[in-house]
Amino acid sequence: MKPAPFSYHRLQTVAELVGLKARLGDAAVILAGGQSLVPMLTLRLSRPEHVIDVNDIVEMDHILPEQDGLRIGALVRHQHVAESAVVATHLPLLRRMAGGVGNYAVRQRGTIGGSLVLADPAAHMPLAALLFDARLVLRSARGVRTAAYRDLYRSPLNCALDAGEVVVSVCFPRQPEAMRAVAEMFHVTAGSFPALICAVRLVADAQGGLAGLTIVVAAGAVRPPVMEGMFDDLRGVRPDAALRGEVVRRVVAHMGGLIGQDAAGRYLLSVLEGRMAMCLAGAAGDTKEGAGA
C-alpha cells in the first residue's frame, strides 16, 4: 500500500509550528523522524489531511547540560544521543538505551520527541523517560508548560498532550552522585522492539543502604509501570543478595498482575526474574552476579 494524499507543510521555527498546529488541530500530524509514522501512513492506519514536517526546526535539535539536569531537544536523533559525550557523562544509561532503538539506519532518523509522544509500550526512550522522571517542555498558542512524562503517559500509544501542544524538549533531572542505573533488554530478533526491558535506578545512602529505588519494566504491551513506593519499607537496608531477592519477588508479582499468567505471560515473567536479578546486582555494584551498566 501507499500513503493517502495529504497537504505538506515544511516549517523552520517552533513559532510557526505552534501557529499552524493551533489552526489545523487534529487534522494535522507532525512528521519528525517518521520511522513509526510513515509505516502507519503507508498502511493507512492514519490518514491525516495535513502533514507538518518539523525536520528543519533546528532550534529543537540540541543536547544541553543545565543546572538542574540534561535538556534534549525534541528533534534529537537516537544516534546522536547514543554517541553523545555529554549524555555519556550525565546519563550513561540513556545513551545505552538510545543505542538499542531499532537499527542503525532507523536511529539516524528517529527522534526522542517523536518516540516519547508515540509512547509505544515496548520502546526504549519512553522507558528511560519514565525511569528518570523526565519532564517534557510543551508549547502551544497558550504558552509554555512543563509536565512530567509519567503523568502524560496514560496508556499505550496515549501520551496525553493538550490540543495544539507540541513537544519542544525533554529534561532529564540531574541525578545524585550515588545513583546507579542499569537496564537489561531482551530482544527476540535484532532490530525489533524488545520483548522485555527492565530498568533499575538505585540511590545509595552514605552507609551503603537503599536511599531510593525505582524500577520500570516494559513487557506485555501494557503501559510500563513505575515501581517506587512499593519499596519504601526497604529504605536503609543494604542491597545484598537477600534484599535483591525480595525486590525481584515483588516486581515479578506486580508484573504478573498486569500481564497475565497465560503461557506467553509466564515465559516473560521467567525472563524478567533472571534479568531483574542481573539489573539489581549491577546497580548494587555486585558485578559477580550482575551484567553491570
- Positions touching another protein (CB under 8 A) are 1-8, 10, 31, 34-35, 38-39, 41-43, 51, 53, 55-56, 79, 102-106, 108-109, 189-191
Q: Whose Cβ is closer to another protein: residue 189's or residue 207's? A: 189
Q: Whose Cβ is closer to another protein: residue 105's or residue 253's? A: 105
Three cell numbers, residue 36: 513509526
Q: Whose Cβ is closer to another protein: residue 98's or residue 269's? A: 98
Least distance in Å: CB of 267 to another protein?
22
Three cell numbers, residue 219: 513487557
Least distance in Å: CB of 24 to another protein?
15
Is the separation of the CB atoms in 275 and 198 below 8 Å? yes
Bridging pattern class, strands 166-173 and 28-31: unpaired
Least distance in Å: CB of 31 to another protein?
8
Least distance in Å: CB of 249 to another protein?
33
Q: Whose Cβ is closer to another protein: residue 71's or residue 77's? A: 77
Q: Whose Cβ is closer to another protein: residue 42's or residue 146's? A: 42
Which residues fall within 8 angstroms of residue 45, CB to CB, at 6 or more apart? none
Least distance in Å: CB of 116 to another protein?
19
Cα three-residue angle 55-59-64, rounded to 5 degrees: 115
Q: Whose Cβ is closer to another protein: residue 34's or residue 209's? A: 34
Distance CA 278, CA 24 (A): 48
Distance CA 23, CA 292 (A): 49
Three cell numbers, residue 286: 555486585
Task: Name the residue with cell 498502511.
Answer: 43
Least distance in Å: CB of 29 to another protein?
13
Least distance in Å: CB of 205 to another protein?
38
Q: Whose Cβ is closer to another protein: residue 41's or residue 255's? A: 41
Residue type, 48: P
Ramachandran angles phi, psi of 274, nearest 5°: -70, -45
Distance CA 258, CA 254 (A): 7
Distance CA 133, CA 129 (A): 6
